[in-house]
Amino acid sequence: MELEGKSFTIKSWAEEDRPREKLLSKGRHVLTDAELIAILIGSGSRNETAVELAKRILSQFENNLNAIAKLSVQDLMKFKGIGEAKAISIVAALELGRRRKETEIVKR
């Protein structure tokens, strides 16, 4: 997605393709794992959109969310573009997902 050496920002994407707008208009179920993680990340860098960064993280773990959920804040910070705040957001969200899953099991 480069044009004249510059990466497109998510803001330059069609509105219906942007993760946040897509969630609002089409619902959370239509978003890919990368798009959901991109929402947690919030913003990318000069060289990479949040979605591209999320895809890079996912590909490192063969798109296995369970493997990513086991990562620490420090592990996530090893990815260029992920600082402490973004890493904490990802860890917290995946922990909430784990707790939700545990709660469903108890209720059954």
How far apart, in whole angstroms, are the C-alpha atoms of residue 94 and residue 82?
Answer: 16
Q: Enter the pTM of the model.
A: 0.80
Average pLDDT of the residues in 38-59: 92
Residues of the chain with pLDDT > 90, as a percent, come to 62
Give every CB contact of residue 74 below 8 A, 6+ residues apart in sequence: 87
Domain ranges of the chain: 2-107
Average pLDDT of the residues in 22-51: 91
Q: Integer distance in angstroms from the first to the last C-alpha of the chain?
A: 46
Average pLDDT of the residues in 10-29: 78
